[in-house]
Chains A and B, each alone.
Chain A
Amino acid sequence: MIYRESGQYKTSYVNDSQIFPIKQDRYAVLAIIAFAFLVIPFIATPYFFSAILIPFLIFSLAALGLNILTGYAGQISLGTAAFMAVGAFASYNFMLRVPGMPILLAFILGGVCAAIVGIIFGLPSLRIRGFYLAASTLATQFFVVWCLTKVPWFTNNSSSGVITAQQIQILGFKFDSPQEKYLLVLAIVCVLALLAKNMVRSTVGRSWMAVRDMDVAAEVIGFRIMKTKLTAFAVSSFYCGVAGALYAFCYLGTVEPEAYNLDLSFRILFMVIIGGLGSILGSFFGAGFIVLLPIFLSFVVHATGLPNSVTSNVELMVFGALIIFFLIVEPHGLARLWQIGKEKLRLWPFPH
């Protein structure tokens, strides 16, 4: 009698529409968040912060952004990294050009700029879908990176195109060490994940899913297709933009167009597919999986005594196989497997 719904009668709709209606889930999530804030900062090594935890959180945020667009609203995008780049460069320029700009505001404004770009490049989705939309977002990807490389104003005329991100300082407190940066990223990701959860359990989220599943019926019911799709593009790009800014300021330490190439777009798409389309938790699973997989594989390769060069090839093969597996067998990804596991546990030890 560990994981049970029984005895938890929902006496009101307030309880039933909570973020985690089952008590054990709620406590587990609260415990994980408390652990992440209160324990991890004291036990993790700097390597662990900078090589695993920080990228994991940032990628989770970007995957969450893409999941809103692709998983919830059904609009495929290969331009995730472009929206991240807009967020990073916009934040950098706000910091650079506006005296006394608070960094958190710069991140938010970076997200807003990404949202605006998202809306503009989302316009084709009103006319085209599927493969053609994918191709048009691919154009977004190349266009944005090209723009950032070619227009010197964005990089403040730096000759190499690589610029150092400004120092992070909030209310006089400097976020320099990996541990401090981790806490900042964690706080931002938690807040944005909570907001996303609120969106998907209210009318905005239902409008996205309705348009995804059956757009004619959605329209007949009264949803406005254009508004719904563009809202999804805006929100998704906002999340990607903030993730992009964090990627530059808290992970890379530099702002450079090349960091936001097509490769990154695909990596984030893989996270969403493996983690689970249309699941917020899945975005975290997917990011965790893809951050940890290379580390795990190189460990295995080491242990078996194979040459190091094998690692990256094995990584690609495993990726490919997993993507195919999830696309064919379980489009709802790890999140769905997790749910099935929980359903089993709910019945255990009496499966009938």
Chain B
Amino acid sequence: MSDSGNRKIGDVILKVDNISLSFGGVKALTNISFDVREHEIRAIIGPNGAGKSSMLNVINGVYLPQEGTITYRGEQRRDMNTHAAAASGIARTFQNIALFTGMTVLDNIMTGRNLKVKATFLEQALWIGRARKEEMEHRRVVEEIIDFLQLQHVRKTPVARLPYGIKKRVELARALAAEPTMLLLDEPMAGMNVEEKQDMCRFVLDTNDQFGTTIVLIEHDMGVVMDISDRVAVLDYGKKIGDGTPAEVRSNPDVIKAYLGAH
């Protein structure tokens, strides 16, 4: 665990209570409750199909749960909607890379700034007033992120041409461009080689450390999870079977059973 810099775990920032979500007959989530504290790295683990991605989708409003409530920064809601989530500082990456394939790396990352744009349509069309100034300001922030994630060499490359590992990094960059309070990462290291995983781990830790971003992370690699997370929630068949520090979770008999059963 890294406990340097301005990282100091604070109060509960997000709390989900009794969330249940089903698709037709499939129960993806059953009565799930947990919380996330400010500035922490919170992992969600579990075997395939456990409902981890569904949980993230509920948190940022892609899926609407049939039951339960979400409390984010003191505001309780029945369900989130994607726009409200983005506007209140939640950004995310996807399990299956969801970049804008026809655009360059730079443009992809620039899209992450869209909620900060004040210029009206006409200002943008005429390239006057705020449009021009803002564009430069956003570009400056985006260049910082490009430096931070070491993407300088592919800045102008269309993302379709990039290797898998770099695409994952661009997706993180796009999420960071929104300067989020909370970042939801759905398997950011899946399918990467050891070196790429190490890089990604470092980026996640640095993000948390330097910007104080709260991170909710889904990851299959136990080594990584135990290394970098402050607390871990374990899901299995849509139910929460464990929650606590990595050490607590590792010695939880239910968790051991689920993992031995699944692998």
Which A residues lie within 8 Å of B110 (CB)?
Answer: 203, 206
Our pick among A12, A13, A214 for the contact of B100 (Cβ within 8 Å) is: A214
**B98 with A204: CB separation less than 8 A:** no
- Whether B125 contacts A206 by the Cβ 8 Å rule is no
* CA A217 to CA B96, docked complex, whole Å: 11
Chain B positions 121-178 with a Cβ under 8 Å from a chain A Cβ = 121, 124-127, 131, 135-136, 139-140, 143, 174, 178
Instruction: Say yes or no: A213-B62 contact (C-beta < 8 A), given A202-B127, A206-B111.
Output: no
- When each residue 104-118 of chain B gets 1 if its CB lies under 8 Å from chain A and 0 otherwise, what string results? 000100111111010
Interface residues on B, range: 35 or more
Beta-carbon contact of A223 and B114 below 8 Å = yes
Interface residues as binary, A210-253 with B (CB distance below 8 Å gives 1, 0 otherwise): 10111011111111100000010000000000000000000000
| B residues 87-106 touching A (CB-CB < 8 Å) | 87, 91-92, 94, 98-103
Query: Which residues 4-38 in A have Cβ within 8 Å of B in the complex?
Result: 12-14, 16-17
A209 at the interface (CB under 8 A from B): yes
**Least distance between A269 CB and chain B CB atoms (Å):** 19
Contacts of B131 in A (CB 8 A): 198, 202
CA distance A129 to B174 in the complex (A): 26
Looking across the interface, which residue of chain B has its beta carbon closest to that of A277?
B102
A278 contacts the other chain (Cβ, under 8 Å)? yes
In chain B, what residue has the closest Cβ to A203? B117
Whether a CB of chain A sits under 8 angstroms from the CB of B86 is yes
Do B126 and A210 have beta carbons less than 8 Å apart?
no
Contact B139 A214 (CB under 8 A): no
Contact among B114, B119, B135, B136 with A222 in the assembled complex (CB-CB below 8 Å): B114
B85's nearest neighbour on chain A, judged by CB, is: A220
Asked whether A213 and B127 contact (CB < 8 A) given A204-B121, A220-B60, the answer is no
Q: Is B202 an interface residue when CB atoms closer than 8 A count as contact? A: no
Contact in complex: B100, A220 (CB < 8 Å): no
Q: What is the minimal beta-carbon distance from B140 to any residue of chain A, in angstroms?
A: 7
How many angstroms from the CA of A221 to the CA of B60 in the assembled complex?
A: 10
B102 and A202 within 8 A (CB): no
CB of B94 within 8 A of CB of A221, answer no
A168 proximal to B (CB < 8 A): no
Q: B114 to chain A: closest CB distance in Å?
A: 5
Chain B residues near A224: list those with CB within 8 A. 83
User: CB-CB < 8 A to A14: which residues of B?
Assistant: 136
Q: Verify if A199 is at the interface (C-beta below 8 Å from B).
A: yes
Q: Closest B residue to A13 by CB, please name it.
A: B139
Contact pick for B102, options A218, A221, A278, CB 8 Å: A278
Residues in A neighbouring B87, C-beta threshold 8 A: 222
- The reply to whether B119 and A221 contact each other, CB–CB distance below 8 Å, is no
Tell me which residues across on chain A come within 8 A of B114, comparing CB atoms: 203, 206-207, 221-223
Whether the Cβ atoms of A202 and B103 lie closer than 8 Å is no
Which residue of the partner chain, among A17, A217, A231, A278, contacts B139 with CB atoms under 8 Å? A17
- The residues of A that contact B111 with a CB separation of less than 8 Å are 206-207, 210, 218, 221, 223
Is B18 interfacial (CB-CB < 8 Å)? no
CB-CB < 8 A to B99: which residues of A? 213-214, 217
In the complex, B82 has a CB within 8 A of chain A: yes
Residues of B close to A231: CB separation below 8 A: 121
Query: How distant is the Cα of A164 from the Cα of B127 in the complex, in angstroms?
Result: 38
Q: A220-B62, A221-B111, A221-B112 are in contact. Are A213 and B83 (CB under 8 A)?
A: no
Contact, CB under 8 Å: B100 / A209: yes
| A213 in contact with B102 given A206-B107, A220-B60 (CB within 8 Å) | yes
From residue A212, how far is it (CB to closest CB) to chain B in Å? 7
Q: Judge whether A2 is part of the interface by a CB distance below 8 angstroms.
A: no
Cα-based distance from A122 to B262 in the complex (angstroms): 49
Q: How far is the CA of A55 from the CA of B127 in the complex (A)?
A: 29
Known: A198-B127, A203-B119, A206-B111. A221 touches B135 (CB 8 A): no
Question: What residues of A have a CB within 8 angstroms of the CB of B94 in the complex?
Answer: 217
B100 touches A213 (CB 8 A): yes
Q: Tell me the bound Cα distance from A223 to B115 in angstroms.
A: 8
Q: Nearest chain B CB to A157's CB is how many angstroms away?
A: 38
Bound Cα distance A210, B107 (Å): 10
Is there contact, CB below 8 Å, between B126 and A195? Answer: yes
Using CB atoms, name the residue of chain B closest to A14: B136
Within 8 A of B (CB), among A182-210: 195, 198-199, 202-204, 206-207, 209-210
Cβ distance A198 to chain B, nearest Cβ, rounded Å:
4
Instruction: Give B69 Cβ to nearest chain A Cβ, in Å.
Output: 21
Query: Are the C-beta atoms of B115 and A222 separated by less than 8 Å?
Result: yes
Residue of B nearest to A207 (CB): B114
Q: Which of B124, B135, B174, B178 has the most CB of A within 10 A?
A: B124
Additional A-B contact list (7), CB under 8 Å, known A195-B125, A203-B114, A220-B82: A12-B136, A13-B139, A13-B143, A202-B119, A203-B113, A222-B114, A224-B83
Q: Which 10 interchain pairs have the tightest Cβ spacing?
A: A222-B86, A217-B98, A213-B100, A202-B124, A222-B115, A13-B139, A198-B127, A203-B117, A195-B125, A219-B82
Chain B residues with a Cβ under 8 A of chain A:
60, 62, 82-83, 85-87, 91-92, 94, 98-103, 107, 110-115, 117, 119, 121, 124-127, 131, 135-136, 139-140, 143, 174, 178
The 27 listed contacts between A and B (C-beta, < 8 Å) are: A12-B136, A13-B140, A13-B143, A14-B136, A17-B136, A195-B125, A198-B126, A198-B127, A199-B124, A199-B125, A202-B124, A202-B131, A203-B113, A206-B107, A209-B102, A209-B103, A210-B100, A212-B100, A212-B102, A213-B99, A218-B100, A218-B111, A220-B60, A221-B111, A222-B82, A222-B86, A278-B102
